[in-house]
Amino acid sequence: MSVPNHPHQAPSGNWQQQAPHQGYPAQYQAQHQHPPNAQYPHGAQYPQPAGWPVAPQHPRRKRTALIVTLVLALVLAVGGATTFFVLRARHAGGAGDSGADWSAAWLDGFEQTWTLDPPSGLGGDISVDMVGGRLVRTNSGPDASTISVYSLERDTPELIWEEEFDVSLPWLPEWGNWLIVGDSLIDVETAERTDAPWDATAEVTASQDGAIACQETTCTLWGSPTDKKWETTIQANAPVRAHIGTKVGNYILASTTDSRGKDTEHFTIDLGSGDSHPLDTEGTSMSPYPLADGWLIYGTGSRGAASTVGIYEPNGALQETFSSSLPDVTTFPWSPEPFTVAESKKWFQDGDTSWAPATYSVDTQDPECQTILVQDKEVTLGPDNSITDDERGSCGATSPIQAVYHSGDGGDIATFHSGEIGKKDLHLVEMTTGRASEPIPLGDYGSYLHWGDDRLLVHSDNGTITAYRATGS
């Protein structure tokens, strides 16, 4: 078995960016969503990046696990330094979808059930995933990684197998019940190896639609290790990574990255034929965001300036661009399904929320500017959240793009985050009633995994995993 050293390899699967902290959208990276026999990946939504419904229908996205990784960054914005975070949801799972991501039982309380100590040795990047019903923790150093697989069938985790690999694995792609390590497929139950049909240096993402391996600008879709669907060469100026879980209709997203890991070119790929189409991103550095029936790019200028919104067909053809200026908006639309193109236009052009199943508003009378109103009920999010903003001397809202980020999870419960670095909290809000959970502590939140509809695994940066359970279940 040969394995590459990919210190910056992104996770396979579908990752869904949810909410940059202030009024500035974050770079959206996509990847894989559902492996062949279940949800692939932040339930989790690849994931990556994430599973998006086929246009024009709005089916509920079903998953058994939700992994969310929050990437902390500092952005120097015009007028001062602004801190924001990117929330990516990853869908992972096994057999037996459980419906909407979160159970209403969380609104009645929760309790801590167990803690798994951090791993010893190596150090560096820690990642946590659920694959085939097993908990997988990867401890990646600069030149080697340890993969540990646990059973969660009893009250506490039980180690099934553990193995060290001579490769850095800051992210561990998976395909069904296989873990992808270079040119090998590792069975999550037995640790048995199967040769993968791609080279060890390929960039691979996988979902229920198959696995796409890209080398330089050539990408190949595999339905199984022996079933090659197609091979295509993309007219890109740098090596390409396909994000098979970031999907609109039958089209997925692919991109190139610069030396800083930032997307620079974007393409759509037809999963049926392999045909690709470049997206004209009008010079913006932002990545396309999947809608129910198209793509959206939201680019901002300096604070107070109008934003530029680009709307694209599912195949990547530019439909239209327009300026969006909603400086005084304090009420956001919300939907359990991803916004459609028509809904997005109503929102970004006119601030129209009349079409939305529900709305939420900033409580501009809150002197702390930490509260939103949902169904006329006060929900306190706390400091440093993604919705409220008091940086201009009065309480207002952040960016209109937040409406897109906080919708589309398939159920009635939306997630919000708050708190400074190292002291983050998760808030679950039932958007149809205004009921909210108590703040769920995420700490430094390396990531969290929503397992089933009533279990939550919080993963700290040092590799400690803490399990919570909804007490109302």
Residues 9-53 have pLDDT tens digits of 333 333 233 344 434 333 333 332 322 222 222 222 222 222 222
- The candidate with the shortest Cα–Cα distance to 178, out of 164, 159, 192, is 192
Least confident of 237-251, 291-305, 358-372: 291-305
Give domain status of residue 10, yes or no: no
Cross-strand bridge partners of residue 214: 203, 219
Q: What pLDDT is stored for residue 124 in this prediction? A: 73
Instruction: List the domain range (segments joined by +) for residue 369.
Output: 16-470
Give the pair of three-digit tokens for residue 215.
């080398």
Give the distance from CA 40 to its chain's centroid: 12
* Distance, CA of 245 to CA of 231 (rounded, Å): 18
Residue 199 has pLDDT above 90, yes or no: yes
- The candidate with the shortest Cα–Cα distance to 217, out of 197, 236, 199, 198, is 236
Residue 187's H or E segment, with its range, is strand 184-187
Q: What pLDDT is stored for residue 170 in this prediction? A: 82
Q: What pLDDT is stored for residue 448 in this prediction? A: 83
- Sorting pLDDT into bands at 50, 70 and 90, what band is 463? confident
- The candidate with the shortest Cα–Cα distance to 20, out of 75, 81, 68, 90, is 75
Give domain status of residue 9, yes or no: no
Q: What pLDDT is stored for residue 303 in this prediction? A: 60
Residue 230's H or E segment, with its range, is strand 227-233
- Sorting pLDDT into bands at 50, 70 and 90, what band is 125? confident
Give domain status of residue 61, yes or no: yes
- Sorting pLDDT into bands at 50, 70 and 90, what band is 171? confident
Residue 118 has pLDDT above 60, yes or no: yes
At residue 19, what is the residue type? A
Task: Report the chain's mean pLDDT, rounded to a whole number.
Answer: 79
* 3-class SS of residue 276: strand
Q: How many CA atoms does the CB half-sphere of 397 hold within 13 Å? A: 20
Q: Which residue has the tokens 């400074």?
A: 420
Q: What pLDDT is stored for residue 336 in this prediction? A: 96
Provide mean pLDDT across the span 107-122. Answer: 89
Cis bond upstream, residue 35 (ω within 30): no
Give domain status of residue 433, yes or no: yes
Are the C-beta atoms of 31 and 245 separated by less than 8 Å? yes
Q: What pLDDT is stored for residue 123 in this prediction? A: 67
Give domain status of residue 349, yes or no: yes
Give domain status of residue 435, yes or no: yes
CATH number at residue 284: 2.130.10
Give domain status of residue 276, yes or no: yes
Q: Which residue has the tokens 């509809």?
A: 453
Provide mean pLDDT across the span 300-308. Answer: 71
Using CA atoms, how far residue 311 sits from 301, 325, 334, 445, in Å, is 18, 16, 19, 33
Give the pair of three-digit tokens for residue 241.
């990574």
Q: What pLDDT is stored for residue 282 in this prediction? A: 63
Per-residue model confidence as pLDDT tens digits over 322-359 = 999 888 899 999 999 999 999 999 999 999 999 999 99
* Distance, CA of 469 to CA of 156 (rounded, Å): 13
- The candidate with the shortest Cα–Cα distance to 362, out of 392, 336, 322, is 392
Which strand ranges, in their side-by-side order, compose the sheet holding 227-233?
A: 203-207, 210-215, 218-224, 227-233
* 3-class SS of residue 39: coil
* Distance, CA of 375 to CA of 91 (rounded, Å): 29
Are the C-beta atoms of 244 and 212 separated by less than 8 Å? yes
Look at the chain and report how many structural domains it folds into: 1
Give domain status of residue 283, yes or no: yes
Least confident of 5-14, 440-449, 453-462: 5-14
| pLDDT greater at residue 377 or residue 40 | 377
